[in-house]
Amino acid sequence: DRFPVTRIVDVAVDRNRVLADAKRIRIIPRVLEEADLLGSEELVTMAVQNLISNAVQYSPEATHVGVGVRVTDGIVEIAVTDKGVGIADEEQERVFERFYRVDPARSRVTGGTGLGLSIVKHVAASHGGEITLWSRPSQGSTFTLRLPASAAPAPEESA
């Protein structure tokens, strides 16, 4: 299936609205270029939704979460940036492992299972893309999901 990246971002942001509002966190989407993606719309939406929910969960109240989209050389980059707790260098590889959680005692309050990022990594790989991470403890994190853009423009909706 072919689907627009804007719809992915809109739906993923929307699904985090309640969580973000509860912490007075503003989610700021910035779509610089429009593009279409190929594959499972629901899985890609779920991946972006997971990145945003992490950004909200691992950030203090009243901060901002950015969701930037740009297209370079046929690659759609969806970057989710937070000003949260960050992840130490030595943990950065491991957070993509199933059930891995940094500091489980502290993150128990946020009540996750440690599966979110392993799902993101799986969705990225199964769509011919990748997920990368930049982070610095107590500064924040940026997770960048890169997926190949669909070459052909989307057909007009008609029968």
Rule CB under 6 A: which residues touch ligand ATP?
A: 50, 54-55, 58, 82, 84-87, 95, 100-102, 107, 112-118, 141
Which region, judged by CB under 5 A, interacts with Mg ion, from 6-14, 71-79, 104-112, 141-149? 104-112
Q: Which does 141 bind (CB under 5 to 8 A by kind): ligand ATP, Mg ion, none?
A: ligand ATP
Residue closer to Mg ion, measured from CB, 6 or 92: 92
Pick one of 16, 45, 49, 54: the residue that binds Mg ion (CB under 5 A): 54
Q: Which does 58 bind (CB under 5 to 8 A by kind): Mg ion, ligand ATP, none?
A: ligand ATP
Judge contact between 93 and 121, C-beta under 8 A.
Answer: no
Residue closer to Mg ion, measured from CB, 80 or 149: 80
Pairing status of strand 26-31 against strand 75-82: unpaired
What residues contact residue 42 under an 8 Å CB cut-off, 6+ apart?
A: none
The length of the chain in residues reads 159
Q: Which does 124 bind (CB under 5 to 8 A by kind): Mg ion, ligand ATP, none?
A: none
Q: Which does 114 bind (CB under 5 to 8 A by kind): Mg ion, ligand ATP, none?
A: ligand ATP
At closest approach, how far in Å is the CB of 85 from Mg ion? 13
Cα–Cα distance measured from residue 99 to residue 85, given in angstroms and rounded to the nearest whole number? 19
